[in-house]
Structure 1
């Protein structure tokens, strides 16, 4: 009897323990699911804003076309303005001796001294120097660029490589200036060599802080192993993209005296990068993707060096324009009847854009890439059609950040590989690379650079991601404050200052053009009353755009803030000597054309008055970068740092 009672008690305790364990397990699973949902929401914010910015960048190409269409009018006021906007600047440094010959490396320089022709020893020394955060002297940077361009010019548009079961090739995606990721790849996978070939699939630069170091490592590796390290052009190997996304500023900051030379040589070098790699005649590796009209036969013969920038599409001018131009120099990048070979045809240009910018989607067909504004979305049927047409088995591409560093879609025929970990924020995503060999399935290797976050729990990393994402979203919201208020008031028939969650969400989506879960995000962005209605003016609480002049109208402040990146790009092109100054007349001409093209309804007198006030020393010119920096977002207090910040 005693044994039976004891056994029964033990069974009850075991059952209780099991139930408790199951409850804890279920709670933890639910907790992980909620964290993952919050992480996905944060990633969707980052990606939506990133793609919206790229769409704005691509729309600048329409502005440059507009500049050409108004060429005569602009030339009357400033004959050199359009040439500076549209023309290539690489002409200044065609001669290598003129560019590098006068640069001396002082005895005091204690960094890496490269020996040409380069060897693997130079590569090792360079990597070690960069690990110590040393800056490579401009003399060696320019020599590497000239040597790289010389070799690239001999290469075809598509590099053909062969593998075997015993000699695989490693494919890396976007690095975006994240040097630690490149170091980690080399640590895990080995340095490039004759027996360890690599393909780097574009977007080496921008966003990260070590883009020039990544370029130097890749170019030196390429010069040491030209048959075993392959470089594809990405959509960020584009000097106009570099104006917006940080690489231009990085070079000018690190190489103040010779930065302009480096950027101008790179502008030309980009155009000679191959646009794809074909492995074993079976795998197509391109940065973006394909479209239903992709013609690999045409792309094999395109003069790729004429693709200066995605923002410089070919713009045929009619005879009346040519007559009006008279003997004036036509900017490079303009395809006229008199100079038919100056740039790619429209069809050729579009083919290259599709290769650099397109994204795969699950829906069948080929349709405009509404998120980025360039290239297309292509479905599984398009993938099968193009691969079958050219007897290929797989498309490997990059171009999109993926939480796990890679993604497989279109029935295994399309692989996305992204090699920059922590791309948006610490802990936001893993990086990855692929190894492929003849007759073997691709193998994926994931990693994540860890630093300060390595000991932080998942919930803390998610909170940091959320805080950063929400901050970016609030800045986007405040830049459209006037438009949003108008949209809210149209739906607020009772003038109560309140809207339903659905009304608020639809207004946000229409005005901002971001495909986000606004209903869920509303719990973090606005306040509600006891009935669940939203106080829509709370959308702008705790944040405002700083005005450099108190008297400036709010609509003007928002407009300049919203278009500040576009205006800065145009200014940087106009400011050919990088003096940082722009004349008042240039500013007025640029603004009037910009306002006209983008249908901005602001009186010229307002912007004139603002510019005059910014001309502090009254010398007829303004520091335009400082002008734009005066428009920045100010937070009254930052609730986003609280540890209990959550998204539903």
Structure 2
């Protein structure tokens, strides 16, 4: 049969229809593919913006924390004039002797028969690790007697360790490196499930920031310390910037301890303060890989750091006293500015108990610095401490010390890890869902002898894993916008003033560019304000922004109706700083502050931060907050009175957290 005959029978028509149909299917597939790519790209952008908000606010808070060093020096200089017993002087002194005296006291603490939690047997063995892990999975609390014993034993072993622990791998022995955990116990459980418990054949390095932010910091710390005591040569602990008792006051660990250990919490905090100072600064693997928490600077000197008496580094907020007595001496611009302490305080603090200024700066760089793509070494303006170091600085320091790579942590990464500086710097972050459930993955690194690092990612998932991706992204985005709105409302008066400077016609409206400029200039958060504007403000048909809509649907509840808005905003904005300061004054952790102490400390704070609020306004507010008129106020309750109210988010209930 000829081709012509086939066409006459309809075969040719059928083939043409099939071709046209295939072409339509292909076009439809391309349309769907392009739509999906655009959809995915938009979701990724929204996710990225949300993480940027979380990180910018996190770093701004850290910057405030670092700047507190100025105030504490100022406080040292002035507080002795208004209070006979200066509670702040202990911050600069040594507590080790007191801690040694307490060891006998700990033996007198009885563990009652009614206690159903884990009972540790000293000296510790592998079954104790297993016992502790199982108990914490059942949400049991380790008795204070065991916590204190673990801390004392840990300190004894840590004191024998060098500043940099040297470890080696071999064809038959690998090592696992974990980054920040921040009290995320489920992440630690998942790491051990996937990678095995620590043992002589399963070595670990935990690279700092074990505590703060998460709800189970003490449990994470106890598992790590018990594992360290069982395998001191196979489990290695590096100090992070949150292994710092002053950081713990802001970021939740202190509150967690006092909540879980109401009777012996104070003793736990005191010995813990000392244990932190004995944690090694870093680890060196196979004489090639430097593992440190933060980073390096162009002046990093590992030889000097090997010799530093690390236990003298009590806190990043406790800079050394200048030897020359110059009260206006300041540190380098990219470090923390610090006023010299007064002569009357110097006499109570032996200079032998301090690091030199140069040594102190070196450790700050190791704990706080971050890598960046730009060449050079310049101030870490986001965090307020340490520096940003470029690829040239990395190469210079590595070559100087005959090393090949830096593995560090300190920064949350969406995928749990990141490689930069031509593969010479690796960041590993092990706390998944760090900002919000679904916000990021966690990761750990496995190193084999003479091989490139291998990365293992994971994410602790709960109910949200069943939701579609767009719902998960929306939840993260909503949470980020929520905390950003709270930052905005805390600066309402300043922002309105900035908007008025732009709104020359007094129309109540500004352009998008003017609004973005005012937001950035006032808040200093380095955010993509133009892209975020649709979530924060309303615009008219011409694209101009009604700037008062920046504050719609949210306000700070006033504890007293007559209190001025400026006062309320100021107290809300500084409440984290104030909480730390008053926790320092509240040395017995009673939670109560006398009216006299409140007035005295506010006047110092007001003067140092140059806050333009009359003392009498704060006095009147404090008087009204002294509900039972006993001359003291519950300062934590006082601060709760300044909670932010989201009018259109009444159903929202924030997660229970100690942070």
**Fold similarity call, TM over 0.5:** yes
Question: Aligned partners of 2:45, 2:141: CA distance in 1, in Å?
Answer: 41
Which residue in 2 is equivalent to 1:44? 52
Matches within 5 A, 1:24-103: 24-70=32-78, 74-83=80-89, 86-87=92-93, 92-103=98-109
* Match of residue 470, structure 1, among 466, 481, 499: 481
* Match of residue 348, structure 1, among 356, 359, 372: 359
Which residue in 2 is equivalent to 1:266? 272
Is contact 1:582–1:622 with CA below 8 Å preserved after alignment? yes
Instruction: Give 1:79 deviation, angstroms.
Output: 3.8
The normalised TM-score by structure 2 is 0.93
Matches within 5 A, 1:55-454: 55-70=63-78, 74-83=80-89, 86-87=92-93, 92-316=98-322, 330=347, 332=349, 339-454=350-465
Which residue in 1 is equivalent to 2:567? 556
Which residue in 2 is equivalent to 1:512? 523
Instruction: Give 1:62 deviation, angstroms.
Output: 1.1
Is contact 2:77–2:342 with CA below 8 Å preserved after alignment? no
Deviations along 1:563-583, one digit per CA (max 9) or x if unpaired, are: 000000011111011111111
Distance 1:88 1:536, change over 3 A: farther
Is contact 2:73–2:341 with CA below 8 Å preserved after alignment? no
Question: Aligned partners of 1:102, 1:17: CA distance in 2, in Å?
Answer: 80
Is contact 2:173–2:201 with CA below 8 Å preserved after alignment? yes
Deviations along 1:57-111, one digit per CA (max 9) or x if unpaired, are: 000011112223436xx33544424325655656543224333122111111121
What count of residue pairs does the alignment treat as equivalent?
A: 632
Question: Aligned partners of 1:323, 1:444: CA distance in 2, in Å?
Answer: 47
Instruction: Give 1:624 deviation, angstroms.
Output: 1.0
Question: Aligned partners of 2:283, 2:68: CA distance in 1, in Å?
Answer: 30
Is contact 2:65–2:577 with CA below 8 Å preserved after alignment? yes
In the alignment, structure 1 segments of 5+ residues that lack a partner are 333-338, 642-648
SS at match of 2:464: coil
SS at match of 1:299: helix
Distance 1:76 1:36, change over 3 A: closer
Instruction: Give 1:457 deviation, angstroms.
Output: 1.3
Question: Aligned partners of 1:525, 1:331: CA distance in 2, in Å?
Answer: 52
* Match of residue 23, structure 2, among 4, 15, 18: 15
Is contact 1:419–1:433 with CA below 8 Å preserved after alignment? yes
SS at match of 1:94: helix
Is contact 1:38–1:462 with CA below 8 Å preserved after alignment? yes
Is contact 1:149–1:272 with CA below 8 Å preserved after alignment? yes
Question: Aligned partners of 1:631, 1:548: CA distance in 2, in Å?
Answer: 7
Deviations along 1:408-462, one digit per CA (max 9) or x if unpaired, are: 0000000000000010011100000001122101100101111111211110110
Is contact 1:64–1:85 with CA below 8 Å preserved after alignment? no
SS at match of 1:160: strand
Is the counterpart of residue 603 in structure 1 residue 614 in structure 2? Answer: yes
RMSD: 1.8
Is the counterpart of residue 618 in structure 1 residue 629 in structure 2? Answer: yes
Which residue in 1 is equivalent to 2:334? none
* Match of residue 534, structure 1, among 545, 555, 562: 545
In the alignment, structure 2 segments of 5+ residues that lack a partner are 1-6, 328-339, 653-659
Question: Aligned partners of 1:355, 1:462: CA distance in 2, in Å?
Answer: 34
Is contact 2:76–2:341 with CA below 8 Å preserved after alignment? no
SS at match of 1:454: helix
Structure 1, 3-12 or 213-222: larger mean CA deviation: 3-12
Which residue in 2 is equivalent to 1:575? 586
Is contact 1:48–1:516 with CA below 8 Å preserved after alignment? yes
The normalised TM-score by structure 1 is 0.95
Question: Aligned partners of 2:510, 2:650: CA distance in 1, in Å?
Answer: 24
Which residue in 2 is equivalent to 1:5? 13
SS at match of 2:418: strand
Question: Aligned partners of 1:389, 1:572: CA distance in 2, in Å?
Answer: 44
Is contact 2:87–2:584 with CA below 8 Å preserved after alignment? no
Instruction: Give 1:323 deviation, angstroms.
Output: 13
Question: Aligned partners of 2:550, 2:323: CA distance in 1, in Å?
Answer: 47
Is contact 1:83–1:330 with CA below 8 Å preserved after alignment? no
Structure 1, 27-36 or 11-20: larger mean CA deviation: 11-20
Which residue in 1 is equivalent to 2:494? 483
SS at match of 1:415: strand
SS at match of 1:248: helix
Question: Aligned partners of 2:465, 2:366: CA distance in 1, in Å?
Answer: 37
Question: Aligned partners of 1:86, 1:632: CA distance in 2, in Å?
Answer: 33
Question: Aligned partners of 1:640, 1:50: CA distance in 2, in Å?
Answer: 25
Distance 1:252 1:89, change over 3 A: farther
Distance 1:172 1:186, change over 3 A: same
Structure 1, 431-440 or 474-483: larger mean CA deviation: 431-440
SS at match of 1:453: helix
Instruction: Give 1:165 deviation, angstroms.
Output: 2.4
Instruction: Give 1:551 deviation, angstroms.
Output: 1.2
Question: Aligned partners of 1:47, 1:78: CA distance in 2, in Å?
Answer: 42
Is contact 2:169–2:285 with CA below 8 Å preserved after alignment? yes
Is contact 1:90–1:264 with CA below 8 Å preserved after alignment? no
Which residue in 2 is equivalent to 1:546? 557
Deviations along 1:500-528, one digit per CA (max 9) or x if unpaired, are: 00000000001001000000111110011
Is contact 1:526–1:538 with CA below 8 Å preserved after alignment? yes
Question: Aligned partners of 1:611, 1:563: CA distance in 2, in Å?
Answer: 16
Is the counterpart of residue 634 in structure 1 residue 645 in structure 2? Answer: yes
Distance 1:329 1:316, change over 3 A: closer
Is contact 1:165–1:440 with CA below 8 Å preserved after alignment? no
